[in-house]
Amino acid sequence: MGSAPIKIAVLDMYDGAPNMGMRCIRNIINEWSNLRGHKIELNIYDTRGNCKIPDNSYDIYLSTGGPGSPLDSATEQWDVQYTKWLEHMLAIHKPVFLICHSFQIACRHFDLGKVCLRKSRQIGVLPVHSLIEDELFNGLEETFYAMESRSYQIIAPNDEKIIGMNAEIMALEKMRPSVPLERAIMAIKFSEKIYGVQFHPEAELKELVLYFNEASNKQNIIKEFGIEKWERIVNHLDEHSPIQHTYTHLIPNFLDKAILS
């Protein structure tokens, strides 16, 4: 790419909802560019709020998580434009990384599995089990830990559609031998350049500590799940938490691959 800056577009799917995701994504990109010595040009597009979609001129695209149902918006203008953009990115072989809500919409659109509500909302630092070797997982253990915050899930993979688009399931959610429910799909390689995950690899340890200890967030979790759940979450956020390893590796691995491919 020579001396020209690496152009990165972030599609903001938060629809104006308060979040730490955008801040963490910005930090990862800036830390990565400083560490690698890359000049970057970063632009944010308000996709859900204002139907803003980036053009084809960017080298790398990241699409965030966000609130709400990945099913109910299928006929909304922003969603129609977004899924057309996904198809175009696939056709022209652009590097795209999809986080949680974006990943769920992509799975719904390409019909790669059943998108449905969980029996209860999932939140906390939880294990993710990788199924394949891939550059995305460089430096991570076969089972690594990631922040989850989701009410929806992808289950019942559509093998015919997955094979047809040459995609590959990369990871599943934590093993639950005592729970007679199908494990959710946690990561898919849609193509050699498009990846999606159903967790939040952008979640940074200090940000999570602040978030879960903030009074209203703490009380909301206790009200919904009980004090024991809140205690389990914060106990996973000490200085030795494996969440930080995911933060420093997974999205940077994608960025590294994107500029080399």
pLDDT in the model for residue 177: 67
**Dist. CA 248–CA 32, nearest whole Å:** 9
pLDDT in the model for residue 178: 66
pLDDT for 144-166, tens place per residue? 999 999 999 999 999 999 999 99
Extract the tokens encoding 226: 């009980």
Average of per-residue pLDDT across 118-133? 92
pLDDT for 59-86, tens place per residue? 999 999 999 999 999 999 999 999 999 9
pLDDT for 90-116, tens place per residue? 999 999 999 999 999 999 999 999 999
If residue 187 lies in a helix (H) or strand (E), which one and from where to where? strand 185-189
Percent of the chain with pLDDT over 90: 87
Q: Could you tell me the pLDDT band of residue 175, with boundaries at 50, 70 and 90?
A: confident
**Dist. CA 66–CA 18, nearest whole Å:** 10
Amino acid at 225: F
**Dist. CA 31–CA 197, nearest whole Å:** 21
**Dist. CA 146–CA 243, nearest whole Å:** 6
Whether residue 1 has pLDDT greater than 50: no
Whether residue 2 has pLDDT greater than 70: no
pLDDT in the model for residue 239: 82
Average of per-residue pLDDT across 3-26? 93
Q: What is the pTM of this model?
A: 0.95
